[in-house]
Amino acid sequence: MFKVFLKFLFIISFFSFRFVKPVTLGGDKNYAEKNKINKEEKKKNFLKLIKQTPENNSIEFKDSKIELEFNDKIDLDVKKIRFQPFLLNHDNVFKYKINGNKLRIDIINQLNKDTTYQINFTDAIKDLDGNSCENIVVTFATGKELNKGTLNGHIKDLMTNKDCENCLVALYRTDRNKNEGVDKKKAFAHILNEENPDYFIHTDEKGQYKINNIANGEYFLCAGETTAEKLICDPKKNKYGFSSEPIIIQNNEITKDIDILLANIEKFKIIEQKTDENNFIIKFDRQVKDFSIKLLINSRRFSESLKSAKINEERNTISLNINNFDGLLPNIDHLPCEITAYDEYGEMLQEKINIHFKNIDKKKEIEKNDIKIESLEKILTTQSLINFKIISEKKIENIDTAKIEMFLKNKIGTKYPIPITRLNIDISNKKEVFVKYDKTIEEIFNIMLTQGDNAENQLSQMRYDDIKLEILIKKQGIFFSDRSTNEEISQTFIFIKNFGSISGNINVKNKHFKVQLLNDKYEVIAEKQDINTFSFEKIKKGEYFVRLLIWDIKNPQWSCGNIFYKKEHDLVFFYDKKIDIINNLNISNINFDIN
């Protein structure tokens, strides 16, 4: 009997293992795949509005209740909800209640007659997984018809020419601060203050925007990088722009494009004061149109010396030659003064400063000494002669050329000494000594290949693009006028073999202009001012843009504008195509014709 029982168990076990589906440690593969598909599907079919009461664009709205129903349970960030037009008592406009997938809004504020309202939920409504239901705007009118005013346009980054996605576009009624005693200068700059716009929207991925149902009236228009929480820009961090002329809505449709840029408009101030060799330097955070310096002690001699103060070419720095005080100041090291300066918009700065100086001793040299080695060419190619200069704060009396060594270096830093036959030294300028070698990198490279030993013949495996040049001046190679000598110094330079050029013509009349070459990060790598036929030489292969800045002939330089004074930025143009430089390619006819 027991044998029969065992036989029965064996048969059951056999068929169980044969027909039961094995389970892996990773779980059911099909189930996991199905679950993944469900998640993907849910992601595609994110939170949606399926029902709304009253219907959008309703008229003669008399109720105070608005109900929204969604396809899933929801959560709400109430701070992101915005009423348009702006309501003064915004914090007490409504109450709300959430019941699963339903949202009820009860309006507390008394709504104005014959007015079209919009409730912009931005991204305030989300499902419980955090997926937002964006671009929900509930529109209704308390009168017999909706407002018909419409504003649309395009927002782009002025300095890169790129479309601005998710950029705030905001309208503010021009009379909103009429009776609030607000500084008139700052009343226009709403986008920089903590205020809610009367109407707003964010741009799409192409930088396009459209605001509908705008009430008739006059508005300021601003745009900028910001967040839905505050709807304001920080001028130190965010790019922004504005229209200097008001937008007038009269049941019409208006198109207006805005360019945004970083324009930090802060209080006019001094950012640096220092004594620099023979000058006292005062640097400002912007251009100075006019200034005066008044001495705060009675002295006719010192007052005359102050007249040497002048503005530099960039017009943001004032320098005063302190040699004019030599011998007049035996016992003091500064003069108390008051400086008054005006920026290009007429804003005044008035501040007490101390002009510091040192009694110039013609026999005494500067104790501290910085020495630099610089190439005479900004961009070095394999055809460039090895010409460089030694810059020193102390006067140089002599150079021992035997203490100057040069090396070619490969990618990993292996050095190959360059045989130096002769160096030409020009020491006529004691603080800027020129050193010239009569050969190019290409010539030196070829000589070293033919004359070098086996180790140096490893150079043959290098490409020109791998080559770096190191210039070394050994200790006691430079002799200064105070009988001191140098510590060992060196400088490495990178050479390029393959390069191109970009050239063109600019037709601009009665204006200052600056043509700029930008790399693929929109950084300025070269520029030329007021030259109608331009050429950028020795450009490495890569992607480039050409930008043209234009400004009024009366102004010293291009201006980013000033929102406080309703002055827009000066003009900017881009060449309409990206420029690709490949090996030894010369591109011409990059032309601008601006009339």
pLDDT in tens, 176-185: 765 554 555 5
Q: Which of 263-277, 439-453, 484-498, 537-551 has the highest mean pLDDT?
A: 537-551
pLDDT confidence of residue 368: 59
- Phi, then psi, of 536 in degrees rounded to 5: -105, 115
Instruction: Return the ∠ at Cα 208 (arms to 204 and 213), rounded to 5°.
Output: 95
Q: For the full predicted model, state whether its pTM sits above 0.75.
A: no
Q: Which fold has domain 371-494?
A: Immunoglobulin-like (2.60.40)
What burial letters (b/e) apply to 329-350, b meaning 16+ CB within 10 Å? beeeeebebebebbbbbebebe
Largest CA distance in the chain: 134
What burial letters (b/e) apply to 583-592, b meaning 16+ CB within 10 Å? eeeebeebeb
pLDDT confidence of residue 361: 43
Which amino acid appears at position 215 of this protein? A
- Look at 203-207, 550-554, 581-585 and tell me which has the smallest mean pLDDT: 581-585
- Intrachain domains 49-141 and 499-594 with the same fold: yes
The C-alpha torsion from 129 through 130 and 131 to 133, rounded to 10°, is 120
pLDDT in tens, 356-382: 765 444 444 445 567 889 888 777 777
pLDDT confidence of residue 358: 58
Tally of CB atoms within 10 A around 412: 6
Confidence of residue 46 (pLDDT cuts 50, 70, 90): confident
Q: Is the pLDDT of residue 27 over 60?
A: no
DSSP β-bridge partners for residue 170: 200, 222
Query: Which class in CATH covers the domain with range 270-356?
Result: mainly beta
Q: Is the pLDDT of residue 9 over 60?
A: no
Query: Would you state the structure tokens that stand for residue 107, as one six-digit string?
Result: 């309006």
Which helix or strand (DSSP H or E) is residue 33 part of?
A: helix 29-44
Of 595 and 511, the one with more pLDDT: 511
Pick the CATH number of 149-260 from 3.30.390.50, 3.40.190.10, 3.30.1600.10, 2.60.40.10: 2.60.40.10
Q: Is the pLDDT of residue 447 over 60?
A: yes
CATH placement of domain 49-141: 2.60.40.1220
Confidence of residue 169 (pLDDT cuts 50, 70, 90): very high
Which amino acid appears at position 162 of this protein? K
Average pLDDT taken over every residue of the chain: 81
Residue whose tokens read 């009569």: 438
Which helix or strand (DSSP H or E) is residue 127 part of?
A: strand 125-127
SS3 label, residue 14:
helix
What burial letters (b/e) apply to 440-449, b meaning 16+ CB within 10 Å? bbbebbeebe
In the chain, domain spans: 2-44, 49-141, 149-260, 270-356, 371-494, 499-594
SS3 label, residue 17:
helix
Of 307 and 5, the one with more pLDDT: 307
Q: Is the pLDDT of residue 528 over 90?
A: yes
pLDDT confidence of residue 45: 56
Tell me if 558 sits within 8 A of 551, measured CB to CB. Answer: yes
- Phi, then psi, of 43 in degrees rounded to 5: -65, -40
SS3 label, residue 46:
coil
Task: Tell me what percent of the chain is helix, strand and coil, each rounded to the nearest 5.
Answer: 15, 40, 45
Confidence of residue 554 (pLDDT cuts 50, 70, 90): confident
CATH placement of domain 499-594: 2.60.40.10
Confidence of residue 325 (pLDDT cuts 50, 70, 90): low
Helices then strands (H, E): number in the chain?
5, 44
pLDDT confidence of residue 240: 94
Q: Is the pLDDT of residue 254 over 90?
A: yes
Confidence of residue 28 (pLDDT cuts 50, 70, 90): very low
